[in-house]
Structure formats: structure tokens, C-alpha cells
Amino acid sequence: MNAKVVICHYEHPRVDQEREILEAAGFEVLAHRVPTEDDISGLVADADALIVQHNKVGPRVIDAMRRCRIIVRYGVGYDNLDTEYAARKGILCCNVPDYCVDEVSDHALALILALTRGIVRYDRAKGDDDFNYPRAAPIRNSRDTVAGIIGLGRIGSSLARKLAPIGFRLIGTDPNVDAQAMGLLGVEKVELETLCTQAEVISLHCLLDARSRGLLGERQFAMMRPGTFLVNTARGPLVEESALVGALRAGRIAGAGLDVLETEPLRPDNPLLGLDSVILTPHAAWYSEKSIVELKRRAAHEVVRVLKGDKALNPVNSPTT
């Protein structure tokens, strides 16, 4: 089959695995590290499929593609794709939602424990005269701590299964998951406002879209308890960063563990860098050697399925033409 697949703006060192799968299916593969919509638009005119990581794919890119049938986003989130516009143009969009589930939930768990046990506060105090247990006080027992999970999909559910045996009392909110399903995970279903007022640890695991952008802002931080910790391993813009900084500086919440930020990569003037109550990691929650392989292979196989005429496993839109 004479089809062309373009791979754009990937952060992996190579695309050998994708190339092997796609070329074995008879497709031509072109890989480019291009950063802008203008750059991509000049490369995809005759592409039958597009695999992207961080590139924004909006109307400009979509209109430039004369025969594209599928766009696959490397990863779970797909907020960089204009899926509705693509659907109107007859282009299927897919993601890879079932990789890195353990990696991200492990990372969230690690951040939660590092915050609630004062690990980083102790480490930053090493060498000081008062390097002793009160340096991170007060520390609560996990069985006396309420953990709130926002988003009970694959990753949020995985985190719940890891937190429950440690002893955290779990509450959660997700409009797409009913109370019975949450109950099977040991999670009490509540509204967002209730979660913000009751939880002492809040962990974000929802997709970013128009409804969830800025989900946690000044109003929500004002509801939280002074000892609350926030963990975000999902998407940076779920949180209004200026409101978070204000809440941390004012002591309205106790700290944050962030793998994602509103603007990435991390800018040297980001005020979060000056806050000892914040743990930052570089959008690395997804990463393990196994997860990289799974991501690359699953993205390539999705393209093969669709271009060969089979049904996609992970569509995120419904083309209308």
C-alpha cells in the first residue's frame, strides 16, 4: 500500500520502532523534529497519517492535509489536537490511553508520600543545626488523612488502589464515573467543592479540555484546608498557576508536587522555583524504559490498523465525512 506517514516533534532519540512497524506494513515514513504549525503544514500535504507528540495540530495544519485519514497523539492527553475540526474534515484522531498507567500513578504516589512525610523538607534541611524531626512538623498518619482524587479513569483508579492499602481515606470526583464504580475502589464519590473542603491531599488525573482548564483556581484554593497538599501529574493548565503560587505564599495550602506546569519546559523565572514547599519534576511521570517502547509501538500499530481498513482501538473523535 503506497501511503505516507509523517512523525513530528517527538522527544524520543529515535523512531526506529515506529519505522520498523510502519515500513513492514508497506508505508513510507518521514520523521521531522519541527516545532511550529507553519513548519508542519509544509510537510503534511500528502500525508495519509500523522503521528505527533507536542505539536499543536489545529485548522492550519489540518487544512494543509489533502488526504490524511488519521492523527495519532503520542500519549494519553490530546489537548494539542483540534479533534472537533479534524472530525469535520473527516480525519480520525486517536491517542494511547493505556500506557504508563502504573508509571504515572506510582509517580503521584511518590509525590504524595514525599509531601505528607516531609521527605523533601528533611532533605533540604540536611546540614542545618536543627536537622531533626520537628523540621517537617506537623506530619499526619496516613490513616488520619483524606486523599481526594480528581479523575477516576485508568490512572486515577490505579492510584486509588495503591493509596487504599496504605490507609488513606479516599474521596473522588469524576462526572463520568458513578458512585458504585468508585465504591468498588474504596472511593466515596463527592462533588468538586466537597473534595476541596475535605481532602488533605488532592491529586489530579483528568484530561484537559475547555471545561477542565483552570479547574483549580482562587475560589477552590480558598476552600482548602491550610495543611492541604496538591499533586498534579496530569496537565499543567488544570491549575491556575498564579492562584497556586498565591495560596502557597499565603500558607492557605501546605505544599505541592508538580510534574506538569502551565508553560513547559520550566522557565527560569517561574515563581514556583523559589518555594521550598514545592516539589517539581520535569513532566517525567509517564517515563520508564517499558513505557517508551509501549507508547511508540502502540501509536504505530494504530496507524497501521486504520490505514489497512480496520477499526481504531482508541478513537477520541468521530469523523463526519
Indicate which residue of 252, 283, 298, 302 is catalytic: 283
Catalytic status, residue 283: yes
Q: How far apart are CA 33 and CA 11, in angstroms?
A: 8
268 CB-side CA count, 13 A = 0
Q: Are 254 and 263 in contact (CB under 8 A)?
A: no
* Catalytically annotated residue among 235, 240, 252, 302: 235
Closest CA to 256 of 267, 265, 239: 239
Task: Dihedral sign for Cα 164, 169, 175, 177, please.
Answer: positive
**Residues 83, 93: contact at Cβ < 8 Å?**
yes
The residues, any chain, with a CB within 8 Å of residue 14's CB and separated by 6 or more, are none
205 a catalytic residue:
no
CB neighbour list of residue 290: distance below 8 Å, 6 or more residues apart: none
Is 54 a known active-site residue? no
308 C-beta neighbours (distance < 10 Å), count: 12
Contacts of 52 (CB under 8 A, 6+ apart): 7, 8, 9, 40, 71, 72, 73, 74, 80, 81
The number of CA neighbours under 13 Å toward the Cβ of 236 is 17
Candidate list 140, 191, 264, 267, residue with the active-site label: 264
Residues annotated catalytic, as ranges:
235, 264, 283
